[in-house]
Chains A and B, each alone.
Chain A
Amino acid sequence: MMAAHPTLSNTRPEQLIACPFCDALHLRARVKVGQRARCSRCHTVLMAPRAGSYLQVITLSLSVVILMGSAVFFPFLTIAVAGVSRTTSVYEVAFAYSDGILQPLSFVVLAVIMLVPTLRAALLIYAIWPLAHGRPPFARATTALRLAETARPWSMAEVFVFGTSVALVKIAGLATVSLGPAFWAFCGLVLLLTLNEHAICKWTLWQDLEDSARP
């Protein structure tokens, strides 16, 4: 637990942090790698730094970008019934909603399953790259990280893979379906995105960004 200090009101604001979930004030402290700091009031985990996490985040994020790039073009699923067959890519899946009033939904689907996860990975690389190499951060690295945070709930690649398995069950009785390379790429992406989520300690990252920006 983080110390809730009785005389915090006399402390300078830059030495304090406030819990975003209950507003409790805590003294800003370095949390050791492997330890977890919980809020003294609402018990939410505020910091849980990991060893070597910056290089890990960069590796994972780069892999996300590369894998996503290949998942767009490769075949996703192939269906065959009564001698007729059809192969579809993820891109075509998004543009299934291209008729009339449903058209905007195509862009939404494309955004939440591909663009947002890729953008988030790219923003993280931009914000973290100099930190991993012990240099001061790039210009507007804080804006990049804030955007990455805003995008987080809208990254739905894992929900899409889950939807794919539901769709497979729905047509399993009617036709033969074979899984293409893009399907396996998406399964890999879900794994990478999950690992990436757990490699990042948000508040340690914000502190490091601030500290390394100082001359």
Chain B
Amino acid sequence: MTAQAAHLIGCRTCGRVWPEGTPTCGRCGARLRAIRDGHSLQAVWAWLLAGMVCYVPANLYPMLNTSTLLDKTTNTVIGGAVELWQGGNYGVAAIVFVASVMIPIGKFIAIGWLALAIGHQNIPGRHRHLRLLHIVEFIGRWSMVDVFVVAILSALVQLGVVATIEPGPAAASFALSVAFTMLSAQSFDPRTIWTTRTP
């Protein structure tokens, strides 16, 4: 039996149950949301769209500007991974590629898929979708790794004419894209996975 069927509303922060229509949880103070409140799904789409929009400039603009005695180079997110690969660091190149390209794009697809599938799932499908949402939420933070790499390199490699690394504008839109996608996943109410669509 679900809380909804019993005309109750459960607090998603602490688990306490309240009569339908209660605005905030009396135990932890969190806002209580009914499952059929379309608000949460709207927030999921809005944050997801913002995250996808920010991901475009994050890949077009340079992430790193390197100047050495000999030359000046700029690197995009993908360019950085390619350079590592060419330098023979296959493992790290793969990690950077996974964290900065595969995880962000995978998250866009996963969240969109979960949102579209609400109400259309059989029981095993619901279990799979809940697991997918847990994975998306767990993995979200790790996409930030490239933003930290750029910060560390730019702080460290300030050696005057010998070598200087400066961060590029892509770092900001990349960080925004990760944050928006995290907010999108957080707005997703997993309880909606278990609802059946009523025409």
**Band of interface residues on B:** 35 or more
Q: What CA separation (Å) do A206 and B149 show in the bound complex?
A: 38
Contact A210 B84 (CB under 8 A): no
Q: How many A-B residue pairs have CB under 8 A?
A: 210
Say if the beta carbon of B77 comes within 8 Å of chain A: no
A210's partner among B27, B137, B148, B167 (CB-CB below 8 A) is B27
Q: What CA separation (Å) do A104 and B84 show in the bound complex?
A: 28
Chain B min CB distance to A172 (Å): 8
Q: What CA separation (Å) do A177 and B18 show in the bound complex?
A: 57
Interface residue ranges, B against A (CB under 8 Å): 1-19, 27-30, 35, 80, 84, 87, 89, 92, 95-96, 126-127, 130, 134, 137, 140-142, 144-160, 162-163, 166-167, 169, 171-172, 175, 179, 182, 186, 190-191, 193-194
Contact B149 A163 (CB under 8 A): yes
Contact A109 B194 (CB under 8 A): no
Contact B156 A105 (CB under 8 A): no
Say if the beta carbon of A41 comes within 8 Å of chain B: yes
Interface secondary structure of A, over-half rule: helix
Contact A43 B182 (CB under 8 A): no
Which of A48-56, A62-70, A86-94, A187-195 faces chain B?
A86-94
Chain B residues closer than 8 Å to A19, beta-carbon distance: 10, 15
Contact A167 B17 (CB under 8 A): no
Closest residue of chain A to B35 (Cβ to Cβ) is A23
**Band of interface residues on A:** 35 or more
Closest residue of chain B to A92 (Cβ to Cβ) is B155
Contact B147 A86 (CB under 8 A): no
Chain A min CB distance to B3 (Å): 4
Contact A13 B8 (CB under 8 A): yes
A153's partner among B17, B140, B148, B191 (CB-CB below 8 A) is B140
Of residues 28 to 86 in A, which have CB atoms within 8 Å of B's CB atoms? Answer: 41-44, 46, 77, 79, 81-82, 84, 86
Between A and B, 12 residue pairs with Cβ closer than 8 Å are A14-B16, A18-B8, A19-B15, A22-B126, A22-B191, A23-B4, A86-B156, A97-B151, A104-B172, A109-B148, A146-B29, A170-B84
Chain A min CB distance to B55 (Å): 16
Contact A17 B156 (CB under 8 A): no
Q: What CA separation (Å) do A77 and B147 show in the bound complex?
A: 17
Closest residue of chain A to B146 (Cβ to Cβ) is A163
Given contacts A8-B1, A102-B171, A169-B84, contact A21 B141 (CB under 8 A): no
Chain B min CB distance to A101 (Å): 6
A160's partner among B89, B148, B150 (CB-CB below 8 A) is B148
Known pairs A8-B6, A170-B153, A210-B16 / 9 extra A-B pairs, C-beta < 8 Å: A19-B10, A46-B15, A79-B156, A94-B151, A108-B179, A112-B144, A146-B13, A153-B182, A166-B92
Contact B169 A17 (CB under 8 A): no
Of residues 165 to 202 in A, which have CB atoms within 8 Å of B's CB atoms? Answer: 166-167, 169-171, 173-175, 177, 202
Contact A88 B156 (CB under 8 A): yes
B16's partner among A4, A8, A17, A94 (CB-CB below 8 A) is A17
Residue from A8, A86, A102 having most chain B Cβ neighbours under 10 A: A102
Residue from B6, B18, B30, B162 having most chain A Cβ neighbours under 10 A: B6
Closest residue of chain B to A6 (Cβ to Cβ) is B1
Contact B130 A206 (CB under 8 A): no
